[in-house]
Amino acid sequence: EMLNGFSTDPLTLTQWVLVQQQKEAPHARGNLSILLNAICVACKFVDSAVRRAGLSDLLGLAGTGNIQGEDQKKLDIVANEVFINVLRRSGQCSVLVSEEIDDEIIIEGGGEYSVVFDPLDGSSNIDCGVSIGTIYGIYKKEKTEAPSVSNVLKRGRELVGAGYCLYGSSCSMVLSVGKQPAHFTLDPSLGEFVLTSAHMRVPEAGRIYSINEGNSSLWADAISRYVQECKSPSNGKLPMSLRYVGSMVADVHRTLLYGGIFMYPADRKATQGKLRLLYEAC
C-alpha cells in the first residue's frame, strides 16, 4: 500500500528471508537465513565502497592480476575481502570459492553451506561509472561430505540459493531460494533492502537483444543468422533494439525486467564462451 508516495507496508529483505524460510522450512534452524543476511550485509558494504570509489582512492588498478588473467581493480580486492570476512564470520560456511582467488577457502569447523561468488563482476566498467554487480550461489554440503571444492562442483539445480546485487542507479538485490526470484531495492536512508517485486518473471516477449556485436566476425553462422533476424526480421516486423552494457549483471537484470535476450555465445576467440559457468551462470 502507498500513502503520499510512502510504502505503508514495507517488507525488508531480512524480514522476507525469515518469513520465506519459516514458510518453506518451518523446522529449519535458520542457518540459511543467517547466511543470506550475511550476503546482504556484504553487498551493502560493497555498494557503499562503489558509491565512494570516485571520492576515495578506490578507482583504478590494484597492480595485481587474478587467476582469470584479469587486471584486478582496487574495488575487486575490497569486495573480495569484504565477502570473505563477512561470510566467514557468519559461521554458516565451510567452503568459499571466489572468482578473484586461485584456490577455495576451507573454513575449519564451518557450517553446512558452500558459497561461490564473483564479488565484483564487470569491474572493467568501474572507472567510467557503469553499473557493476556481485553474483553468488549457495550449495548445501551433505553431512557426510568433507569440506572441499567438490561441494560446489555440482549441477545448478542443486543450488539452494542464488542471486546477484546490481550497483547501478539504484542498488538492486535479486534473490531466489528455490522459487521465482524476488527483487529488493536498497533504501539508503534505511540501510535496508526493501521488497520491490515478490515474484520476478521475465516478460514473454521483449524488444531488446544484447550481445557484443564487436565479436560478430567470430560468431558461428547460426548466431550470425539469429542476430541478423533480430536486426532485420524476415517477417517484416520492426527491428529489435541492441542494448549491451558489457557488465553481465546489468545486462541480465535489464533482460529479466524488460524481456528480450542476453547472449555471450562461444566464438572463434572464446571457444568455450567467456562467461564462467560456476560464477556467472548462478
Residue list 44-73, contact with ligand P6P (CB under 6 A): none
Cell digits for 134?
556481485
Indicate the residue among 140 and 254 with the shorter CB distance to ligand P6P: 254
Q: For residue 210, what is the DSSP state?
A: E
Q: Does 282 bind ligand P6P (CB under 6 A)?
A: no
Radius of gyration of the chain (CA): 20
Please state the closest distance from residue 168 (CB atom) to ligand P6P, in A.
13
Non-local CB neighbours of 255 within 8 Å, separated by 6+ positions: 202, 206, 208, 210, 261, 262
Q: Cβ of residue 204: shortest distance to ligand P6P, in angstroms? A: 24
Which of 248, 256, 263, 282 forms a contact with ligand P6P (CB under 6 A)?
248
* Binding flag, residue 241, ligand P6P (CB under 6 A): no
Closest separation in Å from C-beta 31 to ligand P6P:
31
Q: Taking a C-beta distance cutoff of 8 angstroms, is the pair 242, 213 a contact? A: yes
Q: Residues 127, 132, 134, 135: is their CA dihedral positive or negative?
A: negative
Which residue's CB comes closest to ligand P6P?
248
Instruction: Restricting to residues 250-279, name those near ligand P6P by CB under 6 A.
Output: 251, 264, 274
Q: Are 39 and 87 in contact (CB under 8 A)?
A: yes
The C-alpha cell at 260 is 528480450
Write the Ramachandran bin of 60: left for phi over 0, alpha for psi from -120 to 50, otherwise beta.
left
Total of chain residues touching ligand P6P, rule CB under 6 A? 10
Q: How far is the CB of 214 from ligand P6P (least distance, A)?
A: 7
Query: Is-contact 120 250, C-beta < 8 A?
Result: no
Q: Which of residues 107-136 bind ligand P6P (CB under 6 A)?
A: 121-122, 124
- Determine the interface stretch with ligand P6P among 30-38, 87-95, 156-164, 243-251 (rule: CB under 6 A): 243-251
Q: Among residues 110 and 260, whose Cβ is nearest to ligand P6P?
A: 260
C-alpha to C-alpha distance for 258 and 44, rounded to whole angstroms: 25
* Binding track, positions 193-232, relative to ligand P6P; x by CB under 6 A: -------------------x--------------------
β-partners of residue 12 are: 194
- Its sign, for the CA torsion 252, 24, 11, 48, is negative
Instruction: Give me the residues that bind ligand P6P (CB under 6 A), please.
Output: 121-122, 124, 212, 246-248, 251, 264, 274
